[in-house]
Every structure is written in structure tokens, then in C-alpha cells.
Amino acid sequence: MSTELPLNVLGQPLVACSFDPLTGFFRDGCCKTNEQDLGSHLVCAIVSNDFLQFSLKRGNDLITPRPEYQFPGLIAGDQWCLCLNRWIEALEANCAPRIKLESTHIKALEKVSLEVLEQYAAVEQL
């Protein structure tokens, strides 16, 4: 059994995406995955209002709090592990949110090139 940390799209150890709100398929703050993660929650996104409205129209309400699932509801600026296919849908609809490359799982590269992901990379504040 491997104890190695999962890698990000840059080939480095995966960095946590968000602890507030607590995100990730495992609700551990990271965009880690396994065979049970059918949605492939791989992309660490900084959600925007445009994306939240897009997702709502697609039937995935990320805005309304759902306490029964320990889900606080998201607002623009929150970081969240998104399903890879939803991010790709948003990309095709011209409303893909910015992402944190260091917190996006390497498996995202199976469907999206690093060059495309880099175009949506969040600019770090110095």
C-alpha cells in the first residue's frame, strides 16, 4: 500500500484546496480521488458567480446550504473541488472558473491539457 502523496498537474505533491469551506470528495480539504469518486472531483476552482449560476442551471446547486450534507453553500471566491466534467462543460460555455494548479489532481490531465489548465490558473497575490 502506497503512502505517497497524490500529485498535482505540475507533477508536485497535491496542495490542499480549501478547509473553509471544507472541500474534496473525502472532505479533507484536498482534491484527492479514488474509484468511488464517480464525479472525479479533481479541479480546485475559485468559483465565480457566473460559474455558480451555470452549475445551478445544469442541475447542481452549489449555492444553497445543505446542512444534512455538511455543505455550507458556496459564494464567489470560495475554493472548491469541482468535478472535472463540470469544469469542462463550463469551459465550453465560456464560464469556467479560475483554478489552483497546485491543488488540481494530476488525473485532470487525462481529459484537459496542462496548457488549457494554465490559461485558467489563478494569479497568486504577492
CB burial of 83-93 (b: ≥16 within 10 Å; e: otherwise) equals bbebbbebbee
What was the pLDDT predicted at 124? 62
Residues in a beta bridge with 44:
81
What was the pLDDT predicted at 123? 79
- 77: cell is 471566491
CATH code for the domain of 73: 3.30.56.110
Domain count, the chain: 1
What was the pLDDT predicted at 85? 95
Which residues constitute the domain of residue 73? 1-126
Euclidean distance between CA atoms 81 and 47, whole angstroms: 10
User: Do residues 31 and 43 lie in contact, with contact meaning Cβ atoms separated by under 8 Å?
Assistant: yes
Segments of the chain scoring below 70 in pLDDT: 1-4, 124-126
Nearest to 39 by CA among 114, 123, 111, 126: 111
CA atoms within 13 A on the CB side of 42: 25
